[in-house]
Structure 1
Amino acid sequence: MVVTREVTYDVDGLTMVAHLSLPDGQGPWPAVLIGHDGIGLEDYQRGRADDLAKHGYVALAMDYHAGRTYFGEPDAMLERVMPLMADPARMRAIGRAALDILLAVPGADRERLGALGYGAGGRIVLELASSGVPFTALAAIHPGLPPARTDDWMNARGAFLFCTGSDDPLCTPDQLLTFTGALQDAGIDWRVNIYGGAKHAFWAAPRQPDGSLTGGTTHAMATVPGVEHHPLHAARAWRAVLDLFSETLLQQPLGQG
């Protein structure tokens, strides 16, 4: 059984509305912080938190848009997100406020701490990691990437997973490999999954203006360029995240191939 609830908290001059999901019982459970992409906290990230709870984690899907989503409003989304991405201290403050909420949950095991971020949310959890938050594991799906400077990662730890599409114009495979080169020089355990033919936000199922699913792969509302749903790779990326967390947070080694 999974228990869920909304959690409100104040940061960045706004009241955020996060989604908390945890297994029924008393724990202790490994804890995972989830950062949504630029659109806002939506059902997909809430569903990731719920699925993680089914697997034995306590998960908090943070909010950094004060409960708002930007479906069909790419210009408004960029107006909100781009200044945030240019301000590492602000990103860390937003991420730290959500992390403090997660760690205050009774039963959350701060010694087994994971992070999962999508797009701009991936950048937020990366900023937390570079500032010394001791994540045991971090998964970033087509993240916004900070500069590739080895010195920035000398205080980081844990195993990192990055996933992107071969045709993603915003988080390209070359950009990821340049960035992970800096991580490697800092002694970070990293891996990259590149999904053939996938574009940006390949996990995001297209919706109608009323929020209902279109059932296809093409988005019915305006998006930033280079966005397209790829259900097969979305499922593969989620399995990769679960494998990473199982290996590191549940300490269950993967089977031999």
Structure 2
Amino acid sequence: MIVLLPPSETKRDGGDGPPLRLDGLSSPALTSVRTDLVDEVVTLAADEPACLAALGLSAAQRTEVDRNATLRSAPTMPAIERYTGVLYDALDIESVSRATASRARSRLAVGSALFGLLRADDPIPAYRLSAGSKLPGSSTLAARWKPALEPELARIALDDLVVDLRSGSYAALGRLPGAVTVEVLAERADGKRSVVSHFNKAHKGRLARALAITRAEPRDAAGVAAVARRAGMRVERSGNDVTVVIEA
């Protein structure tokens, strides 16, 4: 089983790993697109106003431009430790016991606008590029990633069930028909339901942790739902769609 996470805009600084080696990352079929995007992002960072505009950043976020400028020389750390935020706080990979850490990390992957697909221990630097970013003079990131990313996801799905927790913009970079998808809905006392962003991320993080550490090996959506229920979550299932229901 592979649990495919969305990335986060926020990332830890630093790291103690060597500089980025694109040919050392998992999914080598993606190296060509990765190389082009890294080159373009580094070049764009040399023009600060253009970089801020392309990435949708304010002047107060100039440090993000600096991160991109040093993509090829900055220290790295495992991808699963680089990303921060609500989902990753709930996942809390660093607190997983030694006995289950290897299994947990082998099951976790991250969708990325810059790298396409990362496994948990792929070493990456801090960077800024979102799925909705538009690099000057280029087609959309979805148009660039789909031809390479969709076959790679399909290849992985031949051997493993994929639980796709990506948000819509990241799922658009590479679709995977047949993956188990998860939605989090808040239910009010009158029975009406709605999507709530903060709780969506937190509960997806909780589910990702439960799936990463379980000794079970879910083979379908029913198995995923069973793991979620054992973790104390209220879930419903329809086909390959799993819904986590929380109180509003």
TM bucket by the smaller chain?
0.3 to 0.5
State the TM-score, normalized to the length of structure 2: 0.34
Structure number with greater Rg is 2
TM-score w.r.t. the length of structure 1 is 0.34
Larger RCO, structures 1/2 (Cα 8 Å, 6+ apart): 2
Which structure is higher in strand share?
1
Larger helix share, 1 or 2: 2
